[in-house]
Amino acid sequence: MKSLDDILNMAKNVQDELTKAQANLDHIEVEGAAGGGLVKVRATAKGRIIAVDIDPSLLAPSEKQMLEDLVAAAFNDARAKADQASSAEMSKMTSGLPLPPGFKLPF
């Protein structure tokens, strides 16, 4: 059985690795799109929105409702991709850690 110091050191190492992985998520970019690419949203894997691109053809007043729907859909697509990128990055980080079976990290 491991000593308490070994367990505490292991916990500190896990915490340090989690901090690095969380910081790295802000450098991974994803792009969500809607309307066949007429509306695009770029975000980080941490969920920070970087840019929104709207095709000029959607800027007519008669297209207001459709544009709003497409922007919401593009944001949701970007968020889903950010969550997926975040999960993939965290899985890479935790794959080498000696965690007990079924142990879930708080993300």
Q: Where are the domains of the chain?
A: 29-94
CA–CA–CA angle 49, 53, 59 (5° rounding): 130
Amino acid at 88: A
Nearest to 58 by CA among 31, 33, 29: 33
CA–CA–CA angle 18, 25, 40 (5° rounding): 160
pLDDT of residue 27: 87
Say how far apart CA 1 and CA 3 lie, in whole Å: 7
The CATH architecture assigned to 29-94 reads: 2-Layer Sandwich (3.30)
Do 11 and 91 touch, CB atoms closer than 8 A?
no
What the block records as the tokens of 87 is: 């999960």
| pLDDT, one tens digit for every residue, the chain (107 residues) | 577 787 788 778 878 877 887 778 888 899 999 999 999 999 988 888 899 999 999 899 998 999 999 999 999 999 899 889 888 877 776 666 666 666 555 54
pLDDT of residue 90: 76
